[in-house]
Amino acid sequence: MGSHSSKYNPMRANILTRVMSWPALVFTFCTWVVFLAGIASLQRTCADGTTGLGQTQARTITALLRPGRDPGCCVPYQAAPDNLNTFGTQGIFGWSGSVLPCLRLFRFYWFMIAFLLVTLLGAFVASGPKYGLSSSRPFWIGMFTINTLLFMIASEATLAALDSSPFSSGQPLMSMRTAAAGAIMTVVGCIFLLLTIGTDWENRRGRAGVAKTTGPGYAGQQGLPTTAAGPGAPVGAGGPVTYTGNP
């Protein structure tokens, strides 16, 4: 009869996946909150018109660039053509090279925030059932890979923005630093999640180094691995072989 040198317990292996992934999920959620706070503060400052050229001058530039538009639509963070002065945000990924309303200026980063929130909430829910995240591992690997790339973009953009004049002092500087720190830490959290969820703990515990014994004959009776012998061959004539895998 066949035997295993160790017994595979899927529930025990799944507990290890859950124990490893939950701290990473909580950490990533906390970093998401930091990034959210930074972007929300930037959005509020943008609406207040307290930096850059100031609300009055921003309205003047808007009137020159887009006649007939609401003069209150645009505020200091937006980039303007060089001949009208610049706010220093041209060339930063995620910001347009033209004047934009505040509600549109940070839309790419609000999308990042919403996408990661949906991913984290789904992962928290998926980690609850019997087989947890391991039963849908490829899906979560894909989702957190996308989030990692998005927040790498956010990290580059926020760090680049710190070198521009609108964010060189005061509340805008602190808000942008907060957003940059949150983006960088979120990248780290997503990478940890890719490691913990992506590692096949179940198969590592259930298959690695487990020798399977099969076949009748002397070798099988002695608990030695054997190969199947051809038709008409003497019992136990098969040679030894060792392999791993589930029964």
| Side chain identity at residue 195, one-letter code | L
What is residue 161's three-state secondary structure?
A: helix
Specify whether 176 is located in the same domain as 238: no
Specify whether 102 is located in the same domain as 200: yes
Report yes or no on 150 lying in a domain.
Answer: yes
Note whether 166 and 172 are within 8 A (CB): yes
Specify whether 164 is located in the same domain as 227: no
Note whether 194 and 201 are within 8 A (CB): no
Number of structural domains (the chain) is 2
Expressed in angstroms, the distance from the first to the final Cα of the chain is 12
pLDDT at 240 over 70: no
Specify whether 220 is located in the same domain as 185: no
Is 0.75 topped by the overall pTM?
no
Specify whether 35 is located in the same domain as 151: yes
In DSSP terms, 109 is beta-bridged to none
Task: Strands of 77-212 (E only): list them.
Answer: none
Specify whether 135 is located in the same domain as 233: no
Q: What pLDDT shows up at residue 172?
A: 80
Helices (H), 49-136: 55-65, 102-105, 107-126
* Span 142-171, pLDDT tens digits: 999 999 999 999 999 889 888 877 777 778
Note whether 244 and 209 are within 8 A (CB): yes
Report yes or no on 4 lying in a domain.
Answer: no
Q: How far is CA 68 from CA 24, 58, 75, in A?
A: 51, 15, 16
* Span 178-209, pLDDT tens digits: 999 999 999 999 999 999 888 776 565 544 44
Report yes or no on 3 lying in a domain.
Answer: no
Specify whether 134 is located in the same domain as 238: no
Report yes or no on 5 lying in a domain.
Answer: no
Structure tokens at 136: 């849908």
Report yes or no on 162 lying in a domain.
Answer: yes
Maximum CA pair distance of the chain? 98
Q: How far is CA 34 from CA 104, 172, 176, 207, in A?
A: 21, 15, 11, 41
Q: What pLDDT shows up at residue 113?
A: 96
Specify whether 154 is located in the same domain as 236: no
Domain, as residue range, for 151: 10-206
* Span 73-88, pLDDT tens digits: 344 454 433 333 344 5
Specify whether 89 is located in the same domain as 178: yes
**What's phi and psi for 101, nearest 5 deg?**
-65, 155
pLDDT at 91 over 70: no
